[in-house]
């Protein structure tokens, strides 16, 4: 058992729907254990600059349904400087922080690990990113919402694509991961999905993606054709890909870059529940002595996973769905 | 390996968002295996009365996002008559149906089992109900959408409750199960959740639910107080409970019965993906010889589960969340 | 021209989406004119009890999209007591309020008029209610959102009604007005609309509403039948009406009472724009000396209308749509 | 009075939410008058190629809530060829079409007028475009939905902009019109709106748009800053503008191009009602002999307006809101 009197929390990296729900669960759980809670602003920047606020229950009232993060998020280049981690640890000590919870992705967890070298308190991570590219948890906070936000947009594009009989390329976020693209593509009934996991796409060889388009146009007479394209799948981006395709097949292909709308919005139920569970679990595990771990959920159970392994990229996207999409869904 | 030339599908019982996505996956997967697909209308009624349609790919084009079911659903009292199952089996034989997929809840699966006594073909179930009360699968098709539909309504009620400083009792569906109520209650940040799993509620003893209300009003000065009430939790219904509470505490408590809006709407991503996976898996398993099984998903893997055990009610709602809500979420 | 140094605003009666957008416009417009703004809490109760807050620009930052009202709303029985209006006026004088803006319905405007007998400052109303039953403005703030909230629910009910081939009676708010019911009924393609403007409905004579149901069932074979019922249209309520119909026609008719979800939710664009325009216009007109007027919008133009006439109930619902629905839409 | 036995309808140009609701109203109204209705596919292309379908009531059942258009839409270069209009008129005569209703924008109406020179039947237009740039009607079918779709996206961008303290440029559709951008900008509480009506923007002089950004950053410390940019407002597009701004002010400005999601989606109530009213009115006016007119709505009344004047671009965007946004909303 660990004695924690003062707990800090921050949100780091790209914001994700559900971060507020997680802050709320942390505050409520810690308060119930008589732990004081403070929140740093702007991710690690607020830690370095000691910009923070006390978090009381009225601060987290009615935020479970809000997008964004009341603590603001940010990347923090300052933490990556040579003395950054030591300065961050110093700030934690000065403020008598016994434990810090970092809500973010694996990049934020690397920063957390760097701080640990200089800090005697406990550090724990909670996975919050729409990309779902963090090892040690089935889902990250924000993924389920981003999926539904993307779907809502793709359904609308389907309406107009169908009315106009057009080919659309819809670019989704995901950094180096195709999680969101595969899920959204399956769920939208997309005719084709292009993501890193399916192999590299080269301007010199567009045939593998052109053939199914021509096949669909010829054989099935489908009114619309939607391709989901994970960002970073093509040199020059999805707009360049659309232009290359248009030229290659002689039918206009339009690009639609969904962009940052995928980050916002009220979190869906699954994200609120996951955020609540992981936030509460993180506090409970800190009290049990957990350190340098991430609070994740695997097969429905809250579990700890070493922070150091969260960025190993060993989590595979559902092989059943990959196979089905390639063999049948894209017919 | 099994030889299937003609496959039938029907949707039975209360409709659930995602049933269309499942029909689509079944049609696409079967077609890719050169299996003919027909769909019975109105659940088992269409089977008994041989009311059906061929299902071609253009029938399932652009239905993945539609609520309801293109095959219509219904309860079927005729199937429960003594000669019902035999007549159903006879119809299947007459129509040369080698296998039947039933999308529905455990009640529909009981009907399916009854038919099996008279039928030489294969029978498989796919769990489709918003109640998530079917054993052998982590989630049923429709549950995730119903959760978000309920949440959307509760968030709106929170707006007005908060503006007016009111107490609301929101009744959710679930039959005998509190799955939807617990999930929605946690996700909405409800101050109290009443569901069968938490014990019986008696008009003679309302104290366990009154005490937290008074505690919240006194200590926390919360602007609004929302109680989620699973249907069938109180004799006379949630309106009667609201009246009893109003009288007991002297503050107006309003009931809001969400009702059938929980059944409709475009399915969310999670339901479309689950429906696609289970529909495809059901066809593949039929080809492997599966019979009298349900296609479910457990820990992310598609699995078979005996139809006969799907109604055992052994699936527990998340104990971590139950404990958290009772100890902390309701503070 | 009028000199206003200190302006107060309050939201009164049933809350409506867009009230926050209106508060924001009032604050921004007044601040730009160097007027101090305070907001009373809980409608007229906050005025009587001098419970208020200063309103600065950061208070209204990012509230344009929020449902409810940051000032809280309430009915105020105390204002209806003999000395209520005088006490309210006294509070305004004590706080040096030069002008008060009341956002609410015609009931709130009656209270405002009562105060005017004892108050030397300026009083102006802005119509905020989902019922759209205020004379002097084409639309009230909140109506457009309530319409879309109702529609969203009715579309979901259509999904399940259609899947199950059922008859649904959906009760909408509106007090004594059928505005919302007619608009939602037309927009949902409802087969029948029952509202006060179409005549009284008596348990003794249900024939006028039964005949079209039977006609539709017989001739058109429609899968679903949706009746929109304005609240207060039938003795005993819509549930009683559904039971009476079920008995009369021998087909199950289900009631669905939408209730308070119609009051909440993020305001739609039309409400945010109307709220912004009327809030800004109210401040500008106060500076021009307006008193005992309501700021409304007629034919796209912001106009003043005497507060005393806002409850005359002379605003008719669109006769073209009424005729079309009765002659054609209900076929 | 005119005798119409056979009526045709088509949707032309960019599709708009509500086109289906309009087709439905036309079918229902015409059927009630015993007029046969056919629908051409793909806009004027279907007319030229005599590709059409009969429209019966079951075709329009449950389409009032669907985005897109069941008749498909398209541009039609063939109509602009020398012999295009004559060929179109010939097809109408051959098919014994007594009257044609064209749902589209002013470009489609120009095509309609060209046909009239060779056609003895009646021609009427119904304004359907998200751009709201058609004279003779306060609103076009689709505008209200596109506004709410844009708002929904901008609200999400606000969430993430606010969490990350970023500057976003959100590009909306509108061709040469700022209607949608002004409305969405006001309704989103955008800090700045750039549209054609506000003057030309030149790369050489970005100062007018930079000054308010710097003012806001310096004085108000706003967490986020959102600029709505009407398409075609800047040479090279909104991405180029974002880059120019980033360089000029030294803070990252991100572009988000909403694109075709603005065209899809279930129509909101206002669009369904307008579409129903104008569709019904168009049929009624054809029966009264109307020809070469557009059915519009002005000040709540259905009115006829000469097709030839619909593209005059005399409709001004609300001067009150323009002034308010420039003087106050952008502070």
Q: To which residue do tokens 């009702």 refer?
A: B259
Question: B256, C259: Cβ pair inside 8 Å?
Answer: yes
- The predicted-structure confidence for C186-227, as pLDDT tens digits, reads as follows 999 999 999 988 887 888 889 999 998 888 876 566 678 999
- What residues contact residue B288 under an 8 Å CB cut-off, 6+ apart? B1, B2
Q: Which of chain B's residues have a Cβ under 8 Å away from the Cβ of A269? A: 144, 147-148, 151, 183-184, 187
Q: Quick one: how many helices (H) and strands (E) in chain C?
A: 11, 11
pLDDT category at C176 given cuts 50, 70, 90 is confident
Taking the CA of residue A67 and the nearest CA in chain D, the distance in Å comes to 6
CB contact under 8 A, C300 and D300: no
Q: Please name the CATH architecture into which domain C146-263 falls.
A: 3-Layer(aba) Sandwich (3.40)
CB contact under 8 A, B269 and A329: no
Question: In angstroms, rounded to a whole number, what is the distance separating the alpha carbons of residues D110 and D130?
Answer: 18
Question: How far A273 CA lies from chain B's nearest CA (Å)?
Answer: 5
Which band of pLDDT confidence, cut at 50, 70 and 90, is reported for residue A197?
confident
Looking up tokens 């039948």 gives C225
Integer Cα distance of C327 and C322 in angstroms = 9
Of B148, B270, B277, the CB nearest to A320: B277
For A238-286, what is each residue's pLDDT tens digit? 999 999 999 999 989 999 999 999 999 999 999 999 999 999 999 999 9
Q: Among residues 264-303 of chain C, which lie with CB inside 8 Å of chain D? A: 266, 268-270, 272-273, 276-277, 280-281, 299-300, 302
The answer to whether the A6-142+267-309 and A144-263 domains have the same CATH topology is yes
CB contact residues (below 8 A), chain D span 132-191, against chain C:
138, 144, 147-148, 151, 155, 158, 162, 183-184, 186-189
Contact B159 C264 (CB under 8 A): yes
Q: Show the tokens assigned to D175.
A: 């061709």
Helix (H, G, I), strand (E, B) or coil at B80: helix
**Inter-CA distances, B205 with B27, B162, C263, D208, Å:** 53, 28, 33, 69
- Identify the pLDDT of residue B45: 96
Q: Do B320 and A268 touch (CB under 8 A)?
A: no
Reported confidence tier of residue A176, pLDDT bands at 50, 70, 90: confident
Q: Which of A183-192, B130-139, B198-207 has the lowest mean pLDDT?
A: B198-207
Mean per-residue pLDDT, A300-324: 95
CB of B11 within 8 Å of a chain A CB? The answer is no
Neighbours of chain B (3+ CB pairs under 8 A): A, C
User: What dotted CATH number matches D145-263?
Assistant: 3.40.50.460
Closest chain A C-alpha to B271 CA, distance in angstroms: 8
Q: 3-state class of B122 per DSSP?
A: strand
The catalytic position among B131, B133, B148, B271 is B131
CATH match for B6-142+267-309 among 3.40.630.10, 3.20.20.70, 3.40.50.450, 3.40.605.10:
3.40.50.450
Q: B6: Cβ–Cβ under 8 A, 6 or more apart, which residues?
A: B35, B36, B37, B38, B95, B96, B97, B98
Banded pLDDT at B214 (limits 50, 70, 90): confident
For residue C265, the distance in angstroms to the closest alpha carbon of chain B comes to 5
Assessment of whether the complete model's pTM goes beyond 0.80: yes
- Does the pLDDT of residue D238 top 80, yes or no? yes
Is the predicted pLDDT of residue A81 greater than 70, yes or no?
A: yes
Q: What is the mean pLDDT of residues A317-326?
A: 94
Residues of D in Cβ contact (< 8 Å) with A168:
260
* pLDDT above 70 for D304: yes
| Catalytic annotation, pick one of D131, D133, D148, D271 | D131
Q: Which residues of C touch B238 (CB under 8 A)?
A: none
Report residue D198's pLDDT band, with 50, 70 and 90 as the boundaries: confident
Encoding tokens for residue A115? 């701080």
Residues of D in contact with A165 (CB under 8 A): 42, 72, 74
Chain B contacts in chain A segment 197-256 (CB below 8 A): 220, 222
pLDDT in tens, D44-85: 999 999 999 999 999 999 999 999 999 999 999 999 999 999
In chain A, residues 47-106 whose CB comes closer than 8 Å to chain B: 57, 61-62, 64-65
With CB atoms and an 8 Å threshold, state whether B64 touches A189: yes
**For chain A, domain boundaries:** 6-142+267-309, 144-263
Taking contacts as CB-CB distances below 8 angstroms, the residues of chain D near C35 are none
For domain A144-263, the CATH superfamily is: Phosphofructokinase domain (3.40.50.460)
Which residue, B154, B237, B228, B158, is CA-closest to B193? B228
Check B61 against A300: CB less than 8 A apart: no
Q: Which of C272, C299, C329 is facing D187, going by the closest CB pair?
A: C272
Do C81 and C279 contact (CB within 8 A), yes or no?
Answer: no
Is the CB of residue A178 less than 8 Å from the CB of residue A317?
Answer: yes
Rounded CA separation A270/A243 (Å): 37
C-alpha distance from residue B245 to each of B182, B188, B249, B253, C152 (Å): 21, 21, 6, 7, 31
Q: Which residues pair with C140 in a beta bridge?
A: none
CA distances from B21 to A326, B62, B271, D61 (A): 17, 9, 8, 21
């Amino acid at each position: 058992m660990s004695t924690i009197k003062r707990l800090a929390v921050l949100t780091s990296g790209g914001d994700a729907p559900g971060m507020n729900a997680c802050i709320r669960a942390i505050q409520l759980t810690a308060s119930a254990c008589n732990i004081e809670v403070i929140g740093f602003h702007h991710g690690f920047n607020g830690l370095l600059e000691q910009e923070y606020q006390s978090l009381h229950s009225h601060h987290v009232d009615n935020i479970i349904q809000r997008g964004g993060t009341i603590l603001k998020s940010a990347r923090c280049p300052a933490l990556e400087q040579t003395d950054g981690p030591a300065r961050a640890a110093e700030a934690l000590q000065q403020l008598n922080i016994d434990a810090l919870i970092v809500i973010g992705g694996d990049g934020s967890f690397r920063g957390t690990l760097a701080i640990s070298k200089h800090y005697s308190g406990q550090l724990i991570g909670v996975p919050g990113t729409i990309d779902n590219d963090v090892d040690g948890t089935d889902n990250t906070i924000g993924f389920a919402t981003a999926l539904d936000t993307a779907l809502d947009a793709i359904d609308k594009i389907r309406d107009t694509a169908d009315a106009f009989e057009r080919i659309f390329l819809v670019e989704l976020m995901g950094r180096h991961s195709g999680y969101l693209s595969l899920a959204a593509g399956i769920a939208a009934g997309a005719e084709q999905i292009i993501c890193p996991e399916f192999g590299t796409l080269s301007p010199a060889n567009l045939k593998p993606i052109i053939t199914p388009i021509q096949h669909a146009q010829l054989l099935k007479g489908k009114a619309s054709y939607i391709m989901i394209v994970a960002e970073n799948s093509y040199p020059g981006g999805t707009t360049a890909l659309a232009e290359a395709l248009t030229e290659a097949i002689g039918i206009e292909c339009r690009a639609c870059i969904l962009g940052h709308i995928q980050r916002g919005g009220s979190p869906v139920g699954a994200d609120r529940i996951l955020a609540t569970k992981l936030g509460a679990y993180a506090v409970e595990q800190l009290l049990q002595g957990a350190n340098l771990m991430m609070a994740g959920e695997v097969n429905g159970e809250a579990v700890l996973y070493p922070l150091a392994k969260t960025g190993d990229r060993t989590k595979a996207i559902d092989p059943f769905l990959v196979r089905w999409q390639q063999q049948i869904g894209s017919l």
